[in-house]
């Protein structure tokens, strides 16, 4: 009660809870990981409040887990060692849009949907790289986990679009990263020692980001998608290579699933193209539609419903979540070299058949075709323990397959993090520990992750 009162003194009564019905919601996410204990949920409004919460947590040695939308599906915002979930959603201001230098500065609770609507209303010629995730997820949460959006295949993973940040360090200092540490302009994080790396990919174990600057990109006038199908996964490395040799695709998916029935047994390749004039657009369409060998067929008469699914931003591509009654959904983000796709594809289908799980197998090339995100998506009934257990086993085997093929696991859940750390160079593990110990001497930030 003493900690509860101290938290109330910082953020007021309405924004702290230790009531079981609210802790229940924060103790789990839509994925297959088991629920874990939460002691308090706190929703700060200002950076000073975040700072005071961190100082209290240090004094009383309480773990703090920062949370944006809480939608990684890998339980990354469900504390491993209890303590406070710091829900950032009240810090929801869009602070600045710089039209000429093309960036937006937002607070940590600003959602993807809010930024997208704001840009559509006030800057319709600009856009940001939007993940396929539900619109309630935060811009900051996505950038900090190296998320992928609709501009990622062409422009790089979303974390490369960070221009700067404001961070509350685990010891309570407020620190700026990038050009904003020197000037009032949040226009770049380059040309300085890149301290952003101390906070990207760390799952909130090194500090709490309170503001971020994200790069914006021109929004082309015309947009369409070309759809191809193949029955041969061996053709996929060549497809990825050829498409990126043209530098013409905005976005790119490969997708296969058993349902609806007409998708059974086929692999669909969807290439998003854009243009600012009819001529440019037609040229891209012509060139891309005729570039593959006979294994890959161009589907000239693609059903509009199928196209719509990919043309929306974010695309409504996550239909796998609806296959199994009960709304459970988790996927492995296997980051792989391009040439490993056929083996990953074939062996992952064996895992899917072995555990009889509802699935969608998706690939999105990243960083201009230098790697791919190989994402087997498993959906399940959250009220059916036996179904969840089969999905956990399938996730575990998929994780091991990705690592065996030389890949790494993106936004890995706890068992996936452990698998990676077992294989990690020992000096690298020591370096991770040293960085954390230096930044967070009392070990309060999301402890249990990357350990």
Ligand X SMILES: Cc1cc2nc3c(=O)[nH]c(=O)nc-3n(C[C@H](O)[C@H](O)[C@H](O)COP(=O)(O)OP(=O)(O)OC[C@H]3O[C@@H](n4cnc5c(N)ncnc54)[C@H](O)[C@@H]3O)c2cc1C
| Helix, coil or strand: residue 19 | coil
> Which residue's CB is nearer to ligand X, number 284 or number 436?
436
Q: What is the token pair recorded at 145?
A: 């986990």
Using the rule CB under 6 A, is 320 a contact of ligand X?
no
The bridge status of strand 371-381 relative to strand 358-366 is antiparallel
Min dist. Cβ of residue 306 to ligand X (A): 18
> Which residue's CB is nearer to ligand X, number 63 or number 275?
63
> Which residue's CB is nearer to ligand X, number 253 or number 281?
253
Q: Residues 28, 29, 31, CA angle at the centre, nearest 5°?
A: 115
> Which residue's CB is nearer to ligand X, number 65 or number 235?
65
Nearest to 143 by CA among 207, 80, 215, 63: 215
Using the rule CB under 6 A, is 375 a contact of ligand X?
no
Min dist. Cβ of residue 138 to ligand X (A): 4
Sign of CA dihedral 141, 203, 66, 22: positive
Among 60-68, 113-121, 233-241, 380-388, the segment contacting ligand X (CB under 6 A): 60-68
Using the rule CB under 6 A, is 132 a contact of ligand X?
yes
CB 257 within 8 A of CB 320: yes
Using the rule CB under 6 A, is 70 a contact of ligand X?
yes
Alpha-carbon span 443 to 223, nearest angstrom: 48
Using the rule CB under 6 A, is 318 a contact of ligand X?
yes
Using the rule CB under 6 A, is 63 a contact of ligand X?
no
Binding residues for ligand X restricted to 142-171, rule: CB under 6 A: 142, 144-145, 147-148
Largest CA distance in the chain: 71
> Which residue's CB is nearer to ligand X, number 78 or number 236?
78
Using the rule CB under 6 A, is 71 a contact of ligand X?
yes
Nearest to 217 by CA among 314, 139, 103: 103
Q: Residues 379, 367, 392, CA angle at the centre, nearest 5°?
A: 20
Using the rule CB under 6 A, is 203 a contact of ligand X?
yes
214: left (phi over 0), alpha (psi -120 to 50) or beta: beta
CB 75 within 8 A of CB 31: yes
Find the binder of ligand X among 63, 79, 131, 416 (CB under 6 A).
131
> Which residue's CB is nearer to ligand X, number 296 or number 357?
357
The bridge status of strand 103-107 relative to strand 94-98 is antiparallel
Find the binder of ligand X among 17, 77, 163, 387 (CB under 6 A).
77
Question: Which residue ranges make up the site for ligand X (CB under 6 A)?
Answer: 65-73, 76-77, 88, 108, 131-134, 137-138, 140-142, 144-145, 147-148, 203-204, 208-209, 318, 321, 329, 446
């Amino acid at each position: 009660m003493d900690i509860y009162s101290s938290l109330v003194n910082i953020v007021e009564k309405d924004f702290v809870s230790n009531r079981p019905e609210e802790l229940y919601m924060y103790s789990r996410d839509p994925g297959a990981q088991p629920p874990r204990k939460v002691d308090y949920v706190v929703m700060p409004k200002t950076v000073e409040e975040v700072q005071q919460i961190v100082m209290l947590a240090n004094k009383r040695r309480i773990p703090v887990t920062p949370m944006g939308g809480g939608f990684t599906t890998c339980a990354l915002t469900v504390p491993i060692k209890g303590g406070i979930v710091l829900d950032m959603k009240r810090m929801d201001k869009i602070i600045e849009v710089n039209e000429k230098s093309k960036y937006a500065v937002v607070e940590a609770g600003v959602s993807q949907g809010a930024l997208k609507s704001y840009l559509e209303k006030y800057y319709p010629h600009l856009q940001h790289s939007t993940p396929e995730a539900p619109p309630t997820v935060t811009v900051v949460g996505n950038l900090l986990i190296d998320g992928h959006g609709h501009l990622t295949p062409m422009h790089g993973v979303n974390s490369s679009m960070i221009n700067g940040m404001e961070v509350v360090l685990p010891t309570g200092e407020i620190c700026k990263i990038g050009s904003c540490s020197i000037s009032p302009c949040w226009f770049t994080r380059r040309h300085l020692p890149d301290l952003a790396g101390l906070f990207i990919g760390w799952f909130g174990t090194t500090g709490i980001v309170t503001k971020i600057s994200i790069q914006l990109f021109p929004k082309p006038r015309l947009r369409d998608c070309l759809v191809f199908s193949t029955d041969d996964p061996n053709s996929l490395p060549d497809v990825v290579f050829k498409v990126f040799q043209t530098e013409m695709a905005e976005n790119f998916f490969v997708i296969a699933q058993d349902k609806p029935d007409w998708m059974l047994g086929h692999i669909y390749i969807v290439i998003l193209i854009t243009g600012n004039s009819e001529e440019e657009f037609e040229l891209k369409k012509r060139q891309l539609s005729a570039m593959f060998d006979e294994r890959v067929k161009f589907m000239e008469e693609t059903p509009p419903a199928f196209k719509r699914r990919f043309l929306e931003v974010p695309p409504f591509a996550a239909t796998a979540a609806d296959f199994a009654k009960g709304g459970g959904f988790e996927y492995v983000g296997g980051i792989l070299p391009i040439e490993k796709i056929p083996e990953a594809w074939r062996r992952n289908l064996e895992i899917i058949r072995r555990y009889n799980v509802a699935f969608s197998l998706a690939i999105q090339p990243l960083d201009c075709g230098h790697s791919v995100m190989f994402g087997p998506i498993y959906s399940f009934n959250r009220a059916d323990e036996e179904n969840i257990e089969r999905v956990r086993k399938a996730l575990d085997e998929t994780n091991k397959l990705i690592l065996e093929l030389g890949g790494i696991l993106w936004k890995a859940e706890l068992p996936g993090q452990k698998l990676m750390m077992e294989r990690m160079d020992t000096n690298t593990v020591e370096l991770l520990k040293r960085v954390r110990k230096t930044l967070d001497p009392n070990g309060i930030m999301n402890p249990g992750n990357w350990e």
